[in-house]
A = this chain, B = another copy of it.
Amino acid sequence: MGLVVQKFGGTSVGSVERIQKVAERINRTIREGNQVVVTVSAMGKTTDELVGLAKAITDRPSQREMDVLLTTGEQVTIALLSMALQQRGIKAHPMTGWQAGIHTDDVYGKARIESIDTERVRACLDQGEVVVVAGFQGISPDGHITTLGRGGSDTTAVALAAALQADRCEIFTDVTGVFTADPRLAPQARKLQEISFEEMLELANLGAGVLHPRSVECAMTHGVPLVVRSSFVDEEGTWVKEAAQMEEVWNVRGVAHDLQVARVKVLGLPNSSKTLTTLFSRLADAHINVDMIVTSEHARERIDVAFSVHENEWESAKEVIEGLKDELRYLEVLSETGLAKVSTVGAGMVTNPGVAAKMFTSLSEANIHIKMVSTSEIKISCVIAKEQATRAVKELHRAFGLDVEEALTAVPS
């Protein structure tokens, strides 16, 4: 008998009819002889509606209270899904985050899971129950309700799978797997049968949107086999696993994009070792996730620093930097939003030095201006204007031979 953790996102549980379908899907997994723990998100647009209510009350709702508010969304889903399972004769047991023993730190809105006390979940599994856990939420050391932030339900699922040493973690979503690019932008995009944790991590971080990077990180660290599959179509998904030899086969495995990028440039900073430490520590203290960082020395005593952030954090980032004016004595701040990031990802890229050149050439031939570049062993990212993103993705998908059908058949499985 296997132990499977299944996660169903907001679209998958977006209506009463879909919740019934999810119950059917779980039922099938049980009939195949598995113990099942389910993690769910809030129904469809619930979170947006709750945020709307908060914004109607105050421009700056405090995050602690936002967490109390938002966690009701998943609580509704665990109740309804449990009822749907019980109607099918399945013993289902709904649990909120705190009931499932999900202990987090107290960074409201972006809490990190510190530990999971699985006693209660295990006791229910031992009694033959399906445990339905509210994703995205936990409890702080002081007993406050917390949320894990964006993509938190994926993280809940993977962390539960790790803590329970589950045989696999299945992430059900509205797409059938991980694609070589977003099919909405690049219709030629194709589904991968398998991808390495590292590649998935780059894709997730780059806004591929299928899996949250924190959940991929957690799966990689604990070696949880992960599969991304569709809630609506019954077909094989994409397995996310330890890297095989696939990197020899392709340079570029996929093209990712992120349409919510903003950039801040700090000009004329004092060129001392303390400058960068101060700058990025303060941004970290404000829980702002900085993505790309570019520095340039333009005279011996002064440097410029540019960094990109999610557009939602643009205002906060600017505030932090402005607050550092006296301390860092820089000359000027420039900032810009309405940007996008397009990236090529592939474990084989490190041994193929031509990839960067090919990427820059293909973007420049398409008259797309590159504002910022960042590279890692397995990815190259370029920041460009948001309105050029779709064209860039299509262009890169074609340029790196991902449009070609034959490439897919060579996927090692």
Contact = CB atoms under 8 A, between A and B. Distances in A.
Interface of A: 16, 19-20, 50, 53-54, 56-58, 61-62, 65-66, 68-69, 71-73, 75-76, 78-80, 82-84, 86-87, 92, 94, 96, 99, 120, 143, 145
Contacts of A78: 68
B80 A16 contact: no
Contacts of A84: 57-58
A94 B68 CA distance: 8
Given A16-B53, A75-B75, A99-B143, A69 B80 contact: yes
Which of A54, A69, A75, A143 gathers the greatest number of chain B CB atoms within 10 Å? A69
B57 A19 contact: yes
Given A69-B75, A75-B75, 11 more contacts: A16-B57, A50-B76, A53-B80, A57-B83, A58-B84, A58-B86, A65-B79, A66-B79, A68-B79, A68-B82, A72-B75
B53 A65 contact: no
Question: What are the nearest 9 A-B pairs in CB distance?
Answer: A69-B79, A72-B72, A68-B79, A16-B56, A58-B87, A61-B83, A57-B83, A65-B79, A65-B82
Nearest to A87: B58
Contact of A58 (B53, B66, B69, B83): B83
A379 to B, nearest CB: 39
Nearest to A59: B87
Nearest to A66: B79
Contacts of A53: 16, 76, 80
Given A56-B16, A72-B72, A65 B86 contact: yes
Contacts of A50: 76
B72 A54 contact: no
Contacts of A68: 75, 78-79, 82, 94, 96
